[in-house]
Amino acid sequence: MSDSAVLTLNAGSSSLKFAIFTNVERPRRLWSGAIERIGLPGARFRLSDARGAVFREKTGTIADHDTALKRLLLAIEHEASGVKLVAVGHRIAHGGPDCDCPEQVTPTLRARLQQLTALAPLHLPANIAGIDAVRIARPDLTQIACFDTSFHRDLPPIARLSGLPRALQDEGLRRFGFHGLSYEYIVKALRDAGVAVDAERIVVAHLGNGASMCAIRDGKSLETTMGFSTIAGLPMGTRSGDVDPGLLLHLLIDKEMTPEAVSQMLYAESGLLGLSGISRNMQELLQRPDDAAAEAVAYFCYHARRHLAGLTATLGGVDRLVFTGGIGANAPQVRAGICDRLGYLGIELNKSANLRGDPVISTGSVGVTVEVRQTDEEAMIAGHVHQFMASQPMAREA
């Protein structure tokens, strides 16, 4: 008998990250991997087992997301004939103001996502391409959209406001927040570890090529550094983070830059890449002796520290700080830079534990527990898909 399985997809503009889980109440990862440089020279397909060991890696030409997905499905058939895919879970960057839970993909939902692309131009077109690729290759599979904005659906009304005229707020131009699947996973992991999540004031720092922080109380989002868009808040790999609106007006009016050029700059040419002039990759910058690389890292840590301190004002203090994401979980220099001079909040790192990347890196002599945790958005998606399928066993792609 074939084992039922769920495929999770996180489609980027030139990449397709994926994982395959058995369709059980506690999803078990079978494989994971990525198809990178889609539509570009030197495309790469990587497939790893549950332990993370790469057992298939190929390079070549992969023209588009449709071709990438076909390659992935062929690999699944080749590697595990005993696995039967029953559903696909998609990480969708933005669900708009009405999205507060996973939804089955229908033509109506796809049309709504298409209308929202201006709100997440870096992510939603690729997310939609992933949905379309599955529909073409495997129309029999149920597709479930899991939204990165849904964790922040309970943001307090005051935190949703943008400061612009009320009429625009009423049109839905509000603060949303992102990286919700990661925050949801961390909250679940803390509960599973016996942490009294409902009694603690928690800040989670999801730091990667995209970076944000979230203040959490009673397991819910109270405030987050991203807002209306994914360029707000902390500086990132290629995204600017917060910029004085007057500076943007200056670029548009006085420098006569086009809106398209400003958008390209904010999303793709700023942040670590723009400041260093070298790379968007934090590990590469940490290894470079260049002054520009060091300044880009210092800028990232400075603004992350500033936002972290601000989130504690929303919570009225902090009991636990969790670092996650590719940078948060793997760059002790960055963790140390962010926590520097935050002793007044009760944040103090054990230098040796931090360098080792221990699960707990705080000294233990002060009140705030500082942790390092790997996030697993794919497992969160697989869990949502299982719950949806269990509650609606007759669900099918509409």
For residue 1, the model assigns a pLDDT of 39
Rg, C-alpha atoms of the chain: 21
DSSP secondary structure of 315-380? HTS-SEEEEEHHHHTT-HHHHHHHHTT-GGGT--B-HHHHHHT-SB-B-SSSS-EEEE----HHHH
pLDDT-derived band at 72 (thresholds 50, 70, 90) equals confident
Both tokens assigned to 62: 């992969």
For residue 37, the model assigns a pLDDT of 85
pLDDT-derived band at 279 (thresholds 50, 70, 90) equals very high
- In terms of average pLDDT, the best of 18-32, 67-81, 230-244 is 230-244
Share of the chain above pLDDT 70, in %: 97
CA gap 260, 282 in Å, rounded: 27
1 vs 384, which has greater pLDDT? 384
Q: Is 371 exposed, middle or buried (0-12, 13-18, 19+ CB in 10 A)?
A: buried
- Which of 21-25, 43-47, 288-292 is least confident? 21-25
Instruction: Tell me the average pLDDT of the chain.
Output: 91
Residue-wise pLDDT for 3-17, tens only, equals 788 999 988 777 889
Which strand ranges, in their side-by-side order, compose the sheet holding 142-147? Answer: 54-60, 43-49, 28-36, 15-22, 3-11, 83-92, 142-147, 103-104
pLDDT-derived band at 397 (thresholds 50, 70, 90) equals very low
359: number of CA atoms within 13 Å, CB side?
A: 3
In the residue annotation, 148 being an active-site residue is answered as yes
For residue 295, the model assigns a pLDDT of 98
110 vs 365, which has greater pLDDT? 110
Residue 396 reports pLDDT greater than 50 = no
CA gap 281, 207 in Å, rounded: 12
For residue 36, the model assigns a pLDDT of 87
Averaged pLDDT for residues 305-333 = 97
What is the largest distance, in Å, between two alpha-carbon atoms of the chain?
68
Residue-wise pLDDT for 12-43, tens only, equals 777 889 999 987 667 789 889 999 888 888 88
Residue-wise pLDDT for 148-206, tens only, equals 999 999 899 999 999 999 999 888 889 999 999 999 999 999 999 999 999 999 999 99
- Catalytic hit among 3, 66, 98, 148: 148
Residue 258 reports pLDDT greater than 90 = yes
Residue-wise pLDDT for 155-166, tens only, equals 999 999 999 999
Both tokens assigned to 339: 């926590």
Question: Which of 243, 236, 203 minimizes the C-alpha distance to 222?
Answer: 203
For residue 51, the model assigns a pLDDT of 81
Q: Among all chains, which residue has been given the structure tokens 């700080």?
A: 321
For residue 243, the model assigns a pLDDT of 97
Q: Model's pTM, two decimal places? A: 0.93
Residue-wise pLDDT for 352-383, tens only, equals 999 999 999 999 877 899 999 999 999 999 99
Reported in sequence order, the residue ranges of 119-183 that DSSP labels E, i.e. its strands, are 142-147
